Amino acid sequence: MNSTELFIKTHPVKLFLLASLPGAASMFASALYYTLDGIFVGHFLGETAFAALNLSMPFVIINFSLADLIGVGSAIPISISLGKKQKAEADNLFTCACIMIIAAGVLIGATLFASAPLLIRLMGAEGDFADLAVQYLRVYALCSPVTTIIFAVDNFLRICGYIRGSLFVNLLMSVLSAVLEFVFLGIFHWGIWAAALATCSGMCICSVVAFLPFFKGKASLRFCRPHFTPGLIRQIITCGTPNFLNNIAGRITSILMNVILVRLGGETAVSVYGILMFAEGLIQPLLYGMCDSLQPAVGFNWGAKKYTRVRAIETCCFTASGILSLLSVLVMILFPEQAARLFISGADKDILSMSVTALRLFSLTYITRWFSFATQSYMLAIEKPLPASLISVSTALVFPVILIGALWPLGLTGIWLNFAGTSVLAAVLSAVILLRLRRELSQKDGDIVLSV
C-alpha cells in the first residue's frame, strides 16, 4: 500500500492501527537499547559506572537533538508537499535534510569530544566518577557523524509507507546493540567506553540498512541534486524547533537536576534519578511513537485539505495516549521494586527504599502527561510550531525550574514530585492552547480543529 492510499483512503481507526501501533513499537524498540545499556552497565560495571552513564546521558541526547530537529523539521513539510503533489520539492527537502544532519554530526561531535572533561567537571563529578562519564560521552561524540542520521531516517521510512521497515530497523538496532554490549562487557570485560561503542555500532549498521530503499530508488522519496535556499533551511528549522527545544530544554533540566542531586545525595541520588529516566525511557517512546507516526498522515491530509480526517485521526491519538499513560501509572505503582532491581543489582536497603518511593511519586506524572504530549504532536503536524514550542519548552524547562524552587523545602522528595507537578501544569497549558485554536479556526471552518 503506497502512502497516498494509506493516508487518504484508509479508515481513520484502521490507519491508526496500521501506522500508530507499529510506530509505537518501533520507537519502543529504538529506545530499548538505552534501557539495556543501563541494565548492562549497572550489572557488569557497578553503581559508579551506572551513575556516570546517567551523568553524561544529557549530553549524549543533546548530540542527537540537532539531527532530530532536522529529521522532524523536514518530515512535516515533506509530508505536506507530497499531499499537495509537489514531488520535486519533497525530494529536495529530503536530500538537503540528509546533508544537513551529517554536517551537524561532525560539528557537534567535535565540540562535545573536546569539551567533555570540562562539562563533566562543571557538574561536580570527580575522580573515577568523572573519568567514566568522559569516556562514555567521548565515544558517542566520535561516532556522531555516522550515527545521528538514524533518528531522521525513521521519519523518512514512515513517510514512504515503510512502517514495517521502520519497525524492523529499530528492532535490529536494539538487538545488535544489546548483543554487542553483552559481548563487550560480559565476555571481554571492557570498560564503560565499550557500552557506548556497542550502541554506536548498532546505530551505524542500521543507518545503512534503513537507507537501502532510498539508495536503490524504490522509495517514494529520492535523492536529487540538492538546492539549498534560506527559505528551505528556515522551514526545516521552524518545524523542527519544538522537538529540538524540548530535547535541549529537557537536557538542561537533567543537567541542573544532576548538579543538585550530586550535592544532595551524591552518586546514590544520581543513580535513583537515572532509574526514573530509564522508566521514562520505556514509556515516553511509546507515546512519542504513537503520536509521531501519525504526523505524516495528519500533515498529508492537512495539505490535501481533508480536515475531517485530521480530526478523526487525532481523536484516536488522544484516546490511545491516555489509555497507555494510565496503564503505565498502574505498573509503576504496583512494581517499583522490581523496576529498581533491573538497573542496580545487589542494591542496599537505602538505595532500594529511595528508588521505590521515587518511582511511585514519579508514576503520578503520567496521569496527565499524555494530554500535553498529544497536543504538542498535533500542533506540529499542522505546522503550528509556536504553540508546540511553548508546550515543549514549558514542559521540559520552565515548569521544572519553577517547581525546583517551589518544592525545595521537601528535599529529594521535591525532586521526585517535580515531574508530576510539571505534567499537571503542561496539561493546563495544552488545554488553553487547544481552546484558543478552536475559537480562532471555528470562524473559518469548524471542522478543522480537534474537539476538546
Q: What percent of the chain is helix, strand and coil (3-state, nearest 5)?
A: 85, 0, 15
Can you tell me whether residue 262 is helix, strand or coil?
helix
Q: Distance (Å, rounded) from C-alpha 265 to C-alpha 58? A: 19
For residue 74, how many other CB atoms are within 10 A of its CB?
29
> What's the whole-model pTM score?
0.70
* Cell 496527565 found at: 368
Number of Cβ atoms within 10 Å of the Cβ of 436? 12
How many Å apart are CA 345 and CA 340, to the nearest integer? Answer: 9
Residue 151 and residue 67 in contact, taking contact as beta carbons nearer than 8 Å = yes
User: How far apart are the C-alpha atoms of 410 and 431, rounded to whole Å?
Assistant: 29
Give the Cβ contact number of residue 95 at 10 Å: 20
User: What is the 3-state secondary structure of 152-184?
Assistant: HHHHHHHHCCCHHHHHHHHHHHHHHHHHHHHHH
Q: How far apart are CA 207 and CA 8, in angstroms?
A: 29
Angle between helices 412-442 and 399-406 (to 10 degrees): 140
pLDDT (tens, 9 = 90+) of the chain, 452 residues, equals: 556 667 777 888 888 888 777 777 767 776 777 788 888 998 899 888 988 998 898 899 888 888 888 988 898 899 888 888 899 999 999 999 999 999 999 999 999 999 999 999 998 888 999 999 999 999 999 999 999 999 889 889 988 888 788 878 888 988 999 999 999 999 999 999 999 999 999 999 999 999 999 999 889 899 999 999 999 999 999 888 877 877 788 888 888 888 898 888 887 888 888 888 888 888 888 888 788 778 778 878 877 778 788 888 888 889 989 999 999 999 999 988 888 887 776 666 778 888 999 999 999 999 999 999 899 888 888 878 889 889 988 998 899 999 999 999 998 999 999 999 999 999 999 999 988 877 776 665 544 444 44
Range 196-220 burial, b when 16+ CB lie within 10 A, else e? bbbbbbbbbbbbebbbebbeeeebb
Q: Where are the domains of the chain?
A: 16-442
